[in-house]
Amino acid sequence: MAARPSSCPARTRSPATAIWFLPAAALLLFLLRSPPMASFPPASPRGSGSSVQARRAELYAKMARDLDERGAAFLRGGETSQSLTLSDLFDTVDGAVVPKLKTAEPPVRANVLYLNPEFAVAISKAVKEIFLPYFDQVIWFQNTSMYHFSMFHASHHLEPVAATEDEIEAEVAAVKRVTGTVCPLKIVLDRVVLTSTGVLLGLWQVESGTDPAEIRSRLREALPRAPQKQLYDPALLHTSFARILGHPKLPQEQSTSSFDNVRFFHELVARVNEKIRDLEATVSDLWYVEEYDVLALALNGKMKVRRLHLGCNEG
């Protein structure tokens, strides 16, 4: 079982689950950390709750259409949301998919909301039950101790922002002040989608607590040196569950020439949604993470984590 990230640098590797994912972290870059990823301008401050919810619904509908509009690009060796190829991120060793860990220069500094394994384990179980029979040895599952929602980067690969140890500690202190004002979130799984890059994503709505768009706005104010262009739409609240790396194993009676990949993937995703759609969860912690390996959160790489509690309800 993969070790939980510690407060000091440590390299952990996930159990070899015969799979390979998400460009995998797609941000998950893979996926595993992410969906279609582009640069987004600074979050506009404090839109109304209804406008943020409407933007989120619009965004999720667009992401659900991605596979139909672009096809299963990952079966053709396409790139991840961070312009990495699957072969850049994964290898197969003794029949098991393993990540190719590469040093991030400079380290990425990310702020992510953390999803407790209490909720992640149930999600992963449903995903594996449906996808593993068809994608054994060609799928990578996100480590359930590292399910997260990317919020805001103090430095990322498109716009690195160098920082000394003192500057990093100042950033942590600033983020801690923000988390003291942020209320824990009660969220519900709106839907699961599969992107054209092969990332299986959970898209969430917010029922109560501080909205992610507001959290990003506060982090922007607290971290003025951060890249102006961030990696995700301010309304987005997503988690990477897995990344598909290759073709499915078909029943012997199924003709490859007549096989409809997109339809098949939609059927699998529909089955996952039947199991876990509308699942409710609570989010009570934000992590400030230094990723010393590329996509460390997605690929179980080397990182340093500061765990900060969302404390608006305390005292």
Q: Give whichever of 32-46, 65-79, 156-170 has the largest mean pLDDT.
A: 156-170
Q: What confidence score (pLDDT) does residue 31 get?
A: 36
Report whether 283 contacts 233 (CB < 8 A).
no
Are 291 and 102 in contact, with CB atoms under 8 Å apart?
no
Which of 108, 115, 63, 80 shows the shortest CA–CA distance to 233? 63
Amino acid at 225: R
In this structure, are residues 39 and 231 in contact, taking their beta carbons and an 8 Å threshold? Answer: yes
Find out whether 290 and 108 touch, Cβ atoms under 8 Å. Answer: yes
Which band of pLDDT confidence, cut at 50, 70 and 90, is reported for residue 240?
very high
CA distances from 109 to 123, 161, 306 (A): 27, 9, 11
How far apart are the C-alpha atoms of 156 and 152, rounded to whole Å? Answer: 9
Alpha-carbon distance values, 104 to 2, 58, 67, 156, 292 (Å): 21, 34, 30, 10, 5
Cα distance between residue 285 and residue 301, in whole Å: 21
pLDDT in tens, 61-82: 999 999 999 999 888 865 554 5
Q: Give the torsion sign (CA, 65, 69, 75, 78).
A: negative
Q: Is the pLDDT of residue 6 over 70?
A: no
DSSP 197-260: TSEEEEEEEEEESS-HHHHHHHHHHH-TTS-SSBSS-TT--EEEEEEE-SPPPPPTTS-STT--
Among residues of the chain, what percentage have pLDDT more than 90?
70
Q: For 98-147, what is each residue's pLDDT tens digit?
A: 999 999 999 999 999 999 999 999 999 999 999 999 999 999 999 999 99
Mean pLDDT of 94-98: 85
Contact predicate 295/24, CB 8 Å: yes
Please, are residues 107 and 290 in contact by the beta-carbon 8 Å criterion? yes
> Across the chain, what does the average pLDDT equal?
84
Q: Which is more confident, 262 or 27?
A: 262
In the prediction, which pLDDT does 82 show?
A: 53
Return the pLDDT at 2: 38
d(CA 192, CA 127): 10
Closest CA to 60 of 261, 287, 295, 273: 273
Q: What is the mean pLDDT of residues 185-189?
A: 98
Of all residues in the chain, the percent with pLDDT exceeding 70 is: 78
- Has residue 259 got a pLDDT over 80? no
Maximum separation of any 2 CA atoms in the chain, in Å: 64
Q: For position 83, what pLDDT does the model report?
A: 54
Burial of residue 183, with CB atoms counted within 10 A of its CB: 0-12 exposed, 13-18 middle, 19 or more buried: middle
Task: Looking at 25-116, list the stretches that DSSP marks H as alpha helix, in order from N- to C-terminal side.
Answer: 49-70, 86-89
Give the pLDDT of residue 258: 61
Note the pLDDT of residue 57: 94
What is the reported pLDDT for 79? 53
Interatomic CA distance for residues 68 and 199, integer angstroms: 14
Q: Which pLDDT band, with edges at 50, 70 and 90, does 255 fall under?
A: low
- pLDDT > 80? residue 23: no
C-alpha angle 233/131/31, rounded to 5°? 25
- And the tokens for 95? 């029949």
Contact 114, 281 (CB under 8 A): no
Residue 22 is given by DSSP the state S
pLDDT at 281: 98
Section 199-211 average pLDDT? 97
Q: Kindly state the tokens that stand for 306.
A: 């500061």
Predicted pLDDT at 257: 60
pLDDT (tens digit per residue) in 288-308: 999 999 999 999 999 999 999
pLDDT for residue 312? 87
Confidence of residue 47 (pLDDT cuts 50, 70, 90): low
The predicted structure's pLDDT at residue 28? 35
pLDDT of residue 95: 78
